[in-house]
A and B are shown apart, each in its own frame.
Chain A
């Protein structure tokens, strides 16, 4: 594997030029004169020719790539970008240049621009380890007629996302869940790309997966789909229950009901500024009026975790696939609800704290933080392995766990496209690792490697 820089051969004829790459003499010795070139989804038969004008360079380091010139027609077909530094590996019959990685964006913004891609720009901090072409696009960006993407690519030279006509990537990291569910299926059918985070399981689907798992089902709080009858049964059994929309995240749509001694129910509704009371006979009306029964909702027992200054907390675990295609735990943070709140999400006013600190505050010396870390790791790992067995490609999960007064672990929920905002303030090193890991994994499944920290060699894991 070597590092290369693609240039256009400006001396060859412009139109209908044959598909040729021009290389230095020493590189030409290693390549067949007729071979197949792969770049993203493109596969083109090419000739390799020596050009004395190209300086000798072994391309062993990212910062010293070997120049390769492409005939204009080939350059145009591949939609290769000159600003990138690529990896190249070759066999007797093929040359692979890449990686070409796509980020499939969601509906967060109506249209995208460099200034709206801060998280991805941050992730490009790892660019010098993998090189290649990174493309941010959305459903509407694909031209099926031209089989290309009109999207944004990361221009390493100026550290900016720029618009361009771009090749179809070989690996796609799904960053948002767009409304048209057929789109991913269509792409899977028509394009030979590997897409990860391809499906989004909702809370009820995750629950049903977990329920079937003999190791994990002991950590599940009792859960049911919301109906008036189910809710009544839950309220007879538990003093506090939580209603969650199956498809929403970040604490949206949540309602918490607490049975009072007077037989009334106290309601903590995310839509209302203050809590209020209803009688049990008003329960059905409350659900009807609040449209809870029209949307898909689950009911869960509200977990009574030891509080810190009266505020509940939970644990967010970040599981990601690493460059060796293995699941790893890249971060554990605790999220403490804001004062007077019952929801821990950072976006709902919660704040991130270190696990050790929270365990100390909640349990004092009764608990061994190292053992807790191990337990969390093994629960999370079991979950990821279970999800791999579904046959879908996942590469990232945000898992929410809790520990109750009896030090029993609870699996609250899993998120396919989690946010990691808490880590930003907690530990920048961990936050960077979380941002970089999917990039290294993408390069790895695209069949490319990464440069060691000392920049002396490219590691490759196939």
Chain B
């Protein structure tokens, strides 16, 4: 068996990313040619970790082949891994001495992330009080503190969906999931929520009166990446409704949505989102090694202040990815490539 040597590797998901892989390969062909670097695209299913051999798509300029290649020293993971087997392979891969994997995980346990962020100076500006959901936190939050609560999954393979619990009148609550609502008595509330959670873990978050867009709150997704200099930068900010709404809505630029409503503040809002998100990513670097991409979701209160609701790794939602401006898609790929190149040069310099 002929085994080729490659410089950089990229992991993708053959099923979930089938619509983007062709574009990715096409784009990386140009980068390979320009930098005279051999690349390989592969899935975890086609990695033999014992043998450290990949059966993948190698890219050498315009020459694209399906062949065997040795495991490259630097790998960028675009995918999310679902099965126990995939997760185990990725765990072993990231622990290997001779390999660095950027974004080994692209979904995070949200209550751990939120807990980390509570120690970031000034985080109260964008972080709503939250706790792991259980009977006592629900009682505490409802009885003593808040009129409205958000319930969000601790971690999920799918785009997260929020549940909104609102005190309707004394001893009655409205439970909203997307645009659907149900009234529930205080005594039945816990059982109803537990049934809805289906044994999955959730975070309880203080609810706010949010800035409406259509039927639900307007959400912003900030895309951040490390690039050629190894530093975080803000790639784009898009508008969507997804976590709090039944239907997915998306717009490539948040300005397009905000324009009609709050013209004077647009620049401030964008700047705040970018600044806060950069601070979050730089801070997470102290707790989570080898991060290369982040998506950070916010909703806005009535004063247009953003509040964090979800942190993810590389964009996994193909609808959102494909809806992006092609230039932004390429920027995401370019940054992934250049960050690996930066790491390769850095380790070469260190000898």
Q: Which residues of A contact B (CB under 8 A)?
A: 107, 110-113, 138-141, 143, 150-151, 163-165, 179, 182, 271, 291
Contact = CB atoms under 8 A, between A and B. Distances in A.
- The 4 A-B residue pairs whose C-beta atoms are closest, nearest first, are A150-B286, A140-B289, A163-B119, A111-B288
Contact of A291 (B50, B94, B95, B289): B50
A143 B286 contact: yes
A140 B286 contact: yes
Contacts of B119: 150, 163-165
Contacts of B286: 140-141, 143, 150-151
B285 interface: yes
Nearest to A149: B286
Nearest to B104: A110
B116 interface: yes
Contacts of A107: 94-95
Contacts of B285: 140
B283 interface: yes
14 contacts: A110-B94, A111-B108, A111-B287, A112-B287, A138-B289, A140-B286, A140-B288, A141-B287, A163-B118, A163-B119, A164-B119, A165-B119, A271-B50, A291-B50
Contact of B115 (A113, A139, A179, A291): A113
B105 interface: yes
A163 B94 contact: no
Interface string B93-136: 01111000000110011001001101100000000000000000
Given A111-B112, A163-B119, 19 more contacts: A110-B104, A110-B105, A110-B289, A111-B108, A111-B287, A111-B289, A113-B115, A138-B289, A139-B289, A140-B287, A140-B288, A141-B286, A150-B119, A150-B286, A150-B287, A163-B116, A164-B119, A182-B350, A291-B52
**Interface bin, chain B:** 20 to 34
A163 B115 contact: yes
A271 B97 CA distance: 20
Contacts of B63: none
Nearest to A140: B289
Contacts, number: 46
A113 B117 CA distance: 13
A113 B104 CA distance: 18
Contacts of B96: 179
A282 to B, nearest CB: 18
Nearest to B98: A179
B51 interface: yes
Interface of B: 50-52, 94-97, 104-105, 108-109, 112, 115-116, 118-119, 283, 285-289, 350
Contacts of A291: 50-52
A163 B118 CA distance: 8
Contacts of B350: 182
A350 to B, nearest CB: 21
Given A163-B116, A163-B118, A291-B51, A110 B288 contact: yes
Nearest to B118: A163
Contacts of B115: 113, 163
B97 A179 contact: yes
A182 B347 CA distance: 12
Nearest to A150: B286
Contacts of A110: 94, 104-105, 288-289
Contacts of B105: 110
A370 B109 CA distance: 51
A131 B109 CA distance: 31
A139 B350 CA distance: 17
A291 B3 CA distance: 14
A307 to B, nearest CB: 30
A287 to B, nearest CB: 14
B108 to A, nearest CB: 8
Contacts of A139: 289
A271 B108 CA distance: 32
A440 to B, nearest CB: 29
A161 to B, nearest CB: 10
A163 B52 CA distance: 36
B139 to A, nearest CB: 19
Contacts of A164: 119
Nearest to B121: A165
A182 B283 CA distance: 23
A340 to B, nearest CB: 23
Contacts of A179: 96-97
Contacts of A165: 119
A143 B282 CA distance: 11
A203 B286 CA distance: 33
A151 B287 CA distance: 7
B289 A113 contact: no
A176 to B, nearest CB: 10
A110 B94 CA distance: 9
A298 B96 CA distance: 20
A111 B104 CA distance: 11
Residue from the set A111, A151, A164 with the largest chain B CB neighbour count within 10 Å: A111
B50 to A, nearest CB: 7
B183 to A, nearest CB: 36
